[in-house]
Amino acid sequence: MSWTLRILYALLTLFIVMNVGLLLNGVTRKIYARVNRRVGIRFYQPYIDLVKNYSLTNLVTHGVMFYLGPIFRLTSGVGLILFIPLIYGSQGFSNFSFSGDAVLILYFLFFGTLGMALGSGESGQPHSAIGVARGLAQVTAAEIPLVLSFLSVFIQYQSLSITEIVGAQQSGILQWTFFTNPLAGVTALLAFLGSMMRSPFDVVLAPQEIPIGPPTEYHGAFLGVLQTNRAIFPVAKTILYVNLFFGGAASWPALIPKAFLLYMWSVVVGTVFPRYRVDQSIRWFLKVPLALGLLSIVCIHFC
Protein backbone atom coordinates (compact mmCIF):
# COMPACT_ATOMS: atom_id res chain seq x y z
CA MET A 1 0.00 0.00 0.00
CA SER A 2 1.46 3.32 -1.04
CA TRP A 3 2.21 6.04 1.52
CA THR A 4 -0.12 8.52 -0.17
CA LEU A 5 -3.00 6.14 0.22
CA ARG A 6 -2.08 5.41 3.83
CA ILE A 7 -2.03 9.12 4.66
CA LEU A 8 -5.38 9.58 2.93
CA TYR A 9 -6.81 6.73 4.98
CA ALA A 10 -5.37 8.25 8.16
CA LEU A 11 -7.00 11.59 7.38
CA LEU A 12 -10.28 9.84 6.66
CA THR A 13 -9.98 8.05 10.02
CA LEU A 14 -9.36 11.32 11.79
CA PHE A 15 -12.32 12.94 10.07
CA ILE A 16 -14.68 10.11 10.99
CA VAL A 17 -13.45 9.91 14.57
CA MET A 18 -13.71 13.65 15.10
CA ASN A 19 -17.26 13.84 13.82
CA VAL A 20 -18.33 10.81 15.82
CA GLY A 21 -16.70 12.33 18.88
CA LEU A 22 -18.44 15.69 18.47
CA LEU A 23 -21.81 14.03 17.94
CA LEU A 24 -21.26 11.78 20.94
CA ASN A 25 -20.35 14.82 23.05
CA GLY A 26 -23.58 16.50 22.05
CA VAL A 27 -25.67 13.38 22.60
CA THR A 28 -24.05 12.79 25.98
CA ARG A 29 -24.89 16.28 27.16
CA LYS A 30 -28.40 15.81 25.84
CA ILE A 31 -28.71 12.64 27.93
CA TYR A 32 -27.41 14.46 31.00
CA ALA A 33 -29.95 17.22 30.45
CA ARG A 34 -32.84 14.80 29.92
CA VAL A 35 -31.96 13.05 33.17
CA ASN A 36 -32.21 16.48 34.79
CA ARG A 37 -35.58 16.97 33.03
CA ARG A 38 -34.21 19.71 30.88
CA VAL A 39 -34.50 19.94 27.12
CA GLY A 40 -30.75 20.25 26.84
CA ILE A 41 -28.47 21.57 24.15
CA ARG A 42 -29.06 20.79 20.51
CA PHE A 43 -27.09 17.70 19.55
CA TYR A 44 -25.12 19.69 16.98
CA GLN A 45 -24.20 22.40 19.48
CA PRO A 46 -20.55 21.17 19.83
CA TYR A 47 -20.04 21.95 16.12
CA ILE A 48 -21.30 25.52 16.57
CA ASP A 49 -19.17 26.00 19.66
CA LEU A 50 -16.15 24.76 17.76
CA VAL A 51 -16.76 27.13 14.82
CA LYS A 52 -17.37 30.00 17.18
CA ASN A 53 -14.24 29.36 19.18
CA TYR A 54 -12.10 29.18 16.05
CA SER A 55 -13.65 32.43 14.80
CA LEU A 56 -12.81 34.50 17.87
CA THR A 57 -10.20 37.18 17.34
CA ASN A 58 -8.00 39.00 19.79
CA LEU A 59 -6.08 36.06 21.21
CA VAL A 60 -3.75 36.49 24.13
CA THR A 61 -0.75 34.26 24.66
CA HIS A 62 1.36 33.77 27.74
CA GLY A 63 4.44 32.24 26.15
CA VAL A 64 5.64 29.39 23.95
CA MET A 65 4.54 26.60 26.26
CA PHE A 66 1.07 28.12 26.43
CA TYR A 67 0.80 27.60 22.66
CA LEU A 68 2.20 24.10 22.83
CA GLY A 69 -0.11 22.89 25.62
CA PRO A 70 -3.22 22.42 23.44
CA ILE A 71 -1.05 21.16 20.58
CA PHE A 72 0.46 18.45 22.79
CA ARG A 73 -3.02 17.59 23.92
CA LEU A 74 -4.24 17.25 20.35
CA THR A 75 -1.11 15.31 19.44
CA SER A 76 -1.92 12.72 22.06
CA GLY A 77 -5.42 12.24 20.66
CA VAL A 78 -4.33 12.19 17.03
CA GLY A 79 -1.31 10.00 17.79
CA LEU A 80 -3.48 7.55 19.66
CA ILE A 81 -5.92 7.17 16.80
CA LEU A 82 -3.17 6.93 14.18
CA PHE A 83 -1.41 4.00 15.82
CA ILE A 84 -4.51 1.94 16.65
CA PRO A 85 -5.74 -0.51 14.03
CA LEU A 86 -9.36 0.54 13.56
CA ILE A 87 -10.61 -2.38 11.48
CA TYR A 88 -8.89 -5.74 11.80
CA GLY A 89 -7.84 -7.07 8.43
CA SER A 90 -8.38 -3.78 6.60
CA GLN A 91 -5.02 -2.57 5.40
CA GLY A 92 -6.18 1.03 5.09
CA PHE A 93 -7.82 1.42 8.47
CA SER A 94 -4.97 -0.31 10.26
CA ASN A 95 -3.33 3.09 9.91
CA PHE A 96 0.26 3.14 11.15
CA SER A 97 0.08 0.29 13.64
CA PHE A 98 3.25 -1.77 13.88
CA SER A 99 4.59 -4.61 15.96
CA GLY A 100 5.43 -2.63 19.11
CA ASP A 101 2.63 -0.05 19.00
CA ALA A 102 1.19 -0.88 22.42
CA VAL A 103 4.13 0.77 24.17
CA LEU A 104 3.74 3.90 22.07
CA ILE A 105 0.04 4.00 22.87
CA LEU A 106 0.63 3.79 26.59
CA TYR A 107 2.88 6.78 26.15
CA PHE A 108 0.29 8.72 24.17
CA LEU A 109 -2.35 8.09 26.80
CA PHE A 110 -0.38 10.11 29.30
CA PHE A 111 1.33 12.52 26.95
CA GLY A 112 -1.55 14.97 26.53
CA THR A 113 -2.08 15.43 30.24
CA LEU A 114 1.58 16.25 30.73
CA GLY A 115 1.64 18.71 27.85
CA MET A 116 -1.48 20.38 29.15
CA ALA A 117 0.07 20.63 32.60
CA LEU A 118 3.10 22.41 31.19
CA GLY A 119 1.02 24.69 28.99
CA SER A 120 -1.51 25.77 31.55
CA GLY A 121 1.23 26.11 34.11
CA GLU A 122 2.78 28.81 31.96
CA SER A 123 -0.44 30.81 31.90
CA GLY A 124 0.35 31.95 35.44
CA GLN A 125 -3.26 31.56 36.55
CA PRO A 126 -3.42 30.11 40.09
CA HIS A 127 -6.60 28.20 39.26
CA SER A 128 -4.74 26.45 36.45
CA ALA A 129 -1.93 25.48 38.77
CA ILE A 130 -4.34 23.99 41.31
CA GLY A 131 -6.22 22.22 38.53
CA VAL A 132 -3.00 20.78 37.14
CA ALA A 133 -1.96 19.46 40.53
CA ARG A 134 -5.33 17.82 41.04
CA GLY A 135 -5.52 16.52 37.49
CA LEU A 136 -2.08 14.92 37.51
CA ALA A 137 -2.74 13.28 40.88
CA GLN A 138 -6.01 11.84 39.70
CA VAL A 139 -4.77 10.72 36.27
CA THR A 140 -1.78 9.02 37.88
CA ALA A 141 -4.04 7.15 40.28
CA ALA A 142 -6.25 6.02 37.39
CA GLU A 143 -3.26 5.14 35.25
CA ILE A 144 -1.84 2.52 37.62
CA PRO A 145 -4.72 0.01 37.35
CA LEU A 146 -4.98 0.82 33.65
CA VAL A 147 -1.35 -0.07 32.98
CA LEU A 148 -1.62 -3.17 35.19
CA SER A 149 -4.57 -4.46 33.19
CA PHE A 150 -2.79 -3.70 29.91
CA LEU A 151 0.33 -5.51 31.12
CA SER A 152 -1.80 -8.47 32.07
CA VAL A 153 -3.13 -8.60 28.53
CA PHE A 154 0.35 -8.27 27.03
CA ILE A 155 1.62 -11.13 29.21
CA GLN A 156 -1.40 -13.23 28.32
CA TYR A 157 -0.77 -12.93 24.57
CA GLN A 158 3.02 -12.59 24.83
CA SER A 159 2.79 -9.72 22.38
CA LEU A 160 3.07 -5.95 22.20
CA SER A 161 1.30 -5.62 18.89
CA ILE A 162 -2.34 -4.64 19.05
CA THR A 163 -3.01 -6.24 15.67
CA GLU A 164 -1.76 -9.59 16.98
CA ILE A 165 -3.83 -9.28 20.14
CA VAL A 166 -6.93 -8.56 18.07
CA GLY A 167 -6.10 -11.44 15.77
CA ALA A 168 -5.91 -13.85 18.70
CA GLN A 169 -9.47 -12.97 19.71
CA GLN A 170 -11.13 -13.57 16.36
CA SER A 171 -12.36 -17.13 16.79
CA GLY A 172 -15.47 -16.31 18.81
CA ILE A 173 -17.03 -14.21 21.52
CA LEU A 174 -15.66 -16.45 24.24
CA GLN A 175 -12.14 -15.82 23.00
CA TRP A 176 -12.42 -12.09 23.82
CA THR A 177 -9.90 -10.98 26.40
CA PHE A 178 -12.76 -9.81 28.55
CA PHE A 179 -13.81 -13.45 28.97
CA THR A 180 -10.41 -15.15 28.85
CA ASN A 181 -8.92 -12.69 31.33
CA PRO A 182 -11.92 -11.25 33.19
CA LEU A 183 -9.89 -9.68 36.01
CA ALA A 184 -7.92 -7.51 33.61
CA GLY A 185 -11.13 -6.68 31.77
CA VAL A 186 -12.93 -5.47 34.87
CA THR A 187 -9.90 -3.49 36.02
CA ALA A 188 -9.65 -1.83 32.65
CA LEU A 189 -13.33 -0.94 32.63
CA LEU A 190 -13.01 0.70 36.04
CA ALA A 191 -9.87 2.59 35.01
CA PHE A 192 -11.68 3.59 31.81
CA LEU A 193 -14.05 5.72 33.89
CA GLY A 194 -11.16 7.66 35.34
CA SER A 195 -9.70 8.69 32.02
CA MET A 196 -12.90 9.75 30.28
CA MET A 197 -13.17 13.16 32.01
CA ARG A 198 -16.73 12.46 33.09
CA SER A 199 -18.45 12.42 36.42
CA PRO A 200 -17.66 11.03 39.00
CA PHE A 201 -14.04 11.76 38.09
CA ASP A 202 -14.35 15.15 36.38
CA VAL A 203 -13.68 17.37 39.36
CA VAL A 204 -10.59 18.66 37.59
CA LEU A 205 -12.48 20.06 34.62
CA ALA A 206 -15.87 20.79 36.16
CA PRO A 207 -17.04 24.36 35.53
CA GLN A 208 -18.38 24.62 39.04
CA GLU A 209 -14.97 23.89 40.52
CA ILE A 210 -12.20 26.44 40.98
CA PRO A 211 -13.23 27.92 37.94
CA ILE A 212 -12.54 25.26 35.37
CA GLY A 213 -9.18 23.83 36.29
CA PRO A 214 -6.27 23.69 33.85
CA PRO A 215 -7.91 25.42 30.85
CA THR A 216 -8.87 28.55 32.80
CA GLU A 217 -6.78 30.80 30.58
CA TYR A 218 -7.43 28.99 27.31
CA HIS A 219 -9.77 30.77 24.95
CA GLY A 220 -10.67 31.08 21.32
CA ALA A 221 -8.65 28.85 19.01
CA PHE A 222 -6.68 27.35 21.90
CA LEU A 223 -9.92 26.19 23.43
CA GLY A 224 -11.05 25.04 19.99
CA VAL A 225 -8.01 22.76 19.77
CA LEU A 226 -8.76 21.41 23.22
CA GLN A 227 -12.38 20.80 22.24
CA THR A 228 -11.30 18.98 19.10
CA ASN A 229 -9.13 16.76 21.23
CA ARG A 230 -11.98 16.22 23.64
CA ALA A 231 -13.92 14.80 20.72
CA ILE A 232 -11.10 12.64 19.32
CA PHE A 233 -9.42 11.35 22.46
CA PRO A 234 -12.33 9.52 24.17
CA VAL A 235 -13.33 7.83 20.92
CA ALA A 236 -9.75 6.79 20.25
CA LYS A 237 -9.49 5.35 23.73
CA THR A 238 -12.78 3.53 23.32
CA ILE A 239 -11.55 1.92 20.11
CA LEU A 240 -8.34 0.91 21.87
CA TYR A 241 -10.41 -0.83 24.54
CA VAL A 242 -12.54 -2.54 21.92
CA ASN A 243 -9.35 -3.82 20.34
CA LEU A 244 -7.74 -5.01 23.52
CA PHE A 245 -10.68 -6.47 25.42
CA PHE A 246 -13.69 -6.91 23.17
CA GLY A 247 -12.31 -8.73 20.19
CA GLY A 248 -11.63 -5.76 17.99
CA ALA A 249 -13.70 -5.35 14.86
CA ALA A 250 -13.40 -6.81 11.45
CA SER A 251 -15.80 -4.33 9.88
CA TRP A 252 -17.46 -0.98 10.55
CA PRO A 253 -20.83 -2.53 11.53
CA ALA A 254 -19.01 -4.53 14.20
CA LEU A 255 -16.97 -1.59 15.45
CA ILE A 256 -19.74 0.99 15.80
CA PRO A 257 -22.02 -0.81 18.29
CA LYS A 258 -19.11 -2.07 20.37
CA ALA A 259 -17.52 1.37 20.63
CA PHE A 260 -20.87 3.03 21.22
CA LEU A 261 -21.80 0.68 24.07
CA LEU A 262 -18.42 1.04 25.69
CA TYR A 263 -18.66 4.85 25.41
CA MET A 264 -22.13 4.74 26.93
CA TRP A 265 -20.74 2.78 29.87
CA SER A 266 -18.90 5.91 31.01
CA VAL A 267 -21.91 8.09 30.16
CA VAL A 268 -24.29 5.99 32.25
CA VAL A 269 -21.94 5.95 35.21
CA GLY A 270 -21.40 9.66 34.83
CA THR A 271 -25.11 10.39 34.70
CA VAL A 272 -25.93 8.29 37.73
CA PHE A 273 -23.11 9.03 40.13
CA PRO A 274 -22.22 12.38 41.65
CA ARG A 275 -18.78 13.87 41.51
CA TYR A 276 -15.90 12.65 43.69
CA ARG A 277 -13.41 14.93 45.30
CA VAL A 278 -9.83 14.38 44.17
CA ASP A 279 -8.76 12.61 47.34
CA GLN A 280 -11.85 10.41 47.23
CA SER A 281 -11.23 9.38 43.63
CA ILE A 282 -7.56 8.65 44.30
CA ARG A 283 -8.54 6.44 47.23
CA TRP A 284 -11.16 4.74 45.09
CA PHE A 285 -8.64 3.94 42.33
CA LEU A 286 -6.05 2.68 44.76
CA LYS A 287 -8.46 0.24 46.41
CA VAL A 288 -10.56 -2.06 44.23
CA PRO A 289 -9.11 -1.38 40.75
CA LEU A 290 -5.52 -1.60 41.98
CA ALA A 291 -6.17 -4.86 43.85
CA LEU A 292 -7.93 -6.34 40.84
CA GLY A 293 -5.09 -5.24 38.56
CA LEU A 294 -2.45 -6.87 40.72
CA LEU A 295 -4.57 -10.00 41.01
CA SER A 296 -4.95 -10.18 37.25
CA ILE A 297 -1.17 -10.05 36.77
CA VAL A 298 -0.64 -12.76 39.39
CA CYS A 299 -3.37 -14.94 37.89
CA ILE A 300 -2.13 -14.61 34.33
CA HIS A 301 1.39 -15.47 35.44
CA PHE A 302 0.60 -18.54 37.53
CA CYS A 303 -2.63 -19.91 36.07
Partner 1 sequence: MRSNDDFLSKKIVPGVEGDEIEVDPIRDYYCDAVPQVSREYKRAYPSIIDRFKNWARSESIWILAYGSGCGAIEMRPLMTPKYDAYQYGIQWRPTPRQANLLMVSGYLSLKTLRIVIRAYEQMPSPKYVMGLGSCTINGGMYYDSYNTINRLDYYLPVDVYVAGCMPRPESLLDGLELLKKLIREGKGHGADIYAEKFEWYKANQKKILKSWNMPDYSW
For partner 1, the binding residue among 10, 16, 49, 144 (CB under 8 A) is 49
The CB-of-240 to partner 1 minimum distance in angstroms stands at 30
The CB-of-131 to partner 1 minimum distance in angstroms stands at 11
Residue 212 as a binder of partner 1 (CB under 8 A): the answer is: yes
For partner 1, the binding residue among 8, 12, 55, 174 (CB under 8 A) is 55
Residue 52 as a binder of partner 1 (CB under 8 A): the answer is: yes
For 115, the 3-state DSSP assignment is: helix
What is the 3-class SS of 184-212, one letter each residue? HHHHHHHHHHHCCCCCCCCCCCCCCCCCC
Nearer to partner 1, 2 or 57 (CB): 57
Q: What are the helix (H) ranges across 83-100?
A: none
Give the Cα separation of 159 and 162 in Å (integer): 8
Judged by CB under 8 A, the chain residues 11 through 40 that form the site for partner 1 are 33, 36-40
Nearer to partner 1, 27 or 240 (CB): 27
Amino acid at 25: N
Judged by CB under 8 A, the chain residues 215 through 234 that form the site for partner 1 are 215-220, 223
Contacts of 214 (CB under 8 A, 6+ apart): 116, 117, 120, 128, 131, 132, 135, 204, 205
The CB-of-254 to partner 1 minimum distance in angstroms stands at 35
Judged by CB under 8 A, the chain residues 60 through 119 that form the site for partner 1 are 60
Judged by CB under 8 A, the chain residues 182 through 211 that form the site for partner 1 are 207-208, 211
Residue 42 as a binder of partner 1 (CB under 8 A): the answer is: yes
Choose the binding region for partner 1 from 49-57, 177-185, 266-274, 290-298 (rule: CB under 8 A). Answer: 49-57
Give the Cα separation of 51 and 69 in Å (integer): 20
The CB-of-207 to partner 1 minimum distance in angstroms stands at 5
Nearest to 56 by CA among 208, 218, 232: 218
Amino acid at 101: D
Query: How many of the chain's residues bind partner 1 (CB under 8 A)?
Result: 32
Nearest to 165 by CA among 156, 173, 104, 174: 156
| Chain Cα centroid distance, residue 1 | 29
Which residues bind to partner 1, rule: CB under 8 A?
Answer: 33, 36-42, 45, 48-49, 51-52, 55-60, 124, 127, 207-208, 211-212, 215-220, 223
